Amino acid sequence: MRQAIIFGASGGIGQALTQALIASGTYDRVWSGSRAAAALPGASPFAFSLTDEASIAAAAQTIGDHGPVHLVIIATGILHDGALQPEKSWRALDPAAMAQVYAINTIGPALIAKHILPLFPRAERAVFAALSARVSSIADNRLGGWHSYRASKAALNMLIANFALELARTRPQAIAVGLHPGTVDSPLSTPFQTAVAPDKLFTPATSAAHLLRVIEHLTPANSGQLLAWDGAQIPF
């Protein structure tokens, strides 16, 4: 039994990833996780909340009862939500808003790793991939701003690097990576698309195809890296 899991399957990229994995026939079961456990044709739905560890643990228990996991993709994230907007200056920093962004972009994925990585087989290839962002790169930061989003995704990158080192000791064929999906036509990017060239704005299906191609070609040497949609490494 080969299993794949998408956390955040109700979002644009998450739904496209789920549909592409089902169509590929590579996995015996594709799990689609969302807050409402929305059913997608051909997928096994489950409910979870990034801010509720018990829901993540329960999902892991259910999935683990069906066998090992060979792929998990975390397609979740928050950049803006109503009054919560990316900061243009340090003057806009708000502790409650920062805590919310970290809870979704950093702590939630960490809790998923805590409960799902033990389901990876010990002697087979398996991939843990979390959507990160190019703007999380400290080395490539030329504009500043977006403090909470940048910092939360940079923290996620560090966690992925840590997970990669730990996996290497117990599951040497397992791979943990962060993935930059490009700028995708989705609610997350809608307010910021005016400066994006039309050929650089991907549909969710296009982004999903790129990401799955990158995942397909990963080796343990890539574990711990942040990779763009075209497979290029992005410096931390």
Within 8 A by CB and 6+ apart from 227, the residues are 177, 178, 179, 180, 214, 233, 234
Pair of tokens at residue 2: 């080969």
CA–CA separation, 215 and 186 (whole Å): 22
Q: pLDDT tens digits for 60-118?
A: 999 999 999 999 999 999 999 999 999 999 999 999 999 999 999 999 999 999 999 99
CATH 3.40.50.720 corresponds to the domain 3-228: yes
- Spell out the domain ranges in the chain: 3-228
pTM for this structure? Answer: 0.95
Q: pLDDT tens digits for 190-210?
A: 667 666 767 778 999 999 999
pLDDT confidence bin for 38, thresholds 50/70/90: confident
Asked if 123 and 217 touch (Cβ cutoff 8 Å), the reply is no
For the chain, percent of residues with pLDDT exceeding 70: 97
CA–CA separation, 52 and 40 (whole Å): 23
Distances from the Cα of 222 to the Cα of 75, 152, 192, 208, 229, angstroms: 19, 22, 31, 19, 14
Residues 79-89 as b/e (b if ≥16 CB within 10 A, e otherwise) read bbeeebebbee
CB atoms within 10 A of CB 34: 24
CA–CA separation, 222 and 227 (whole Å): 9
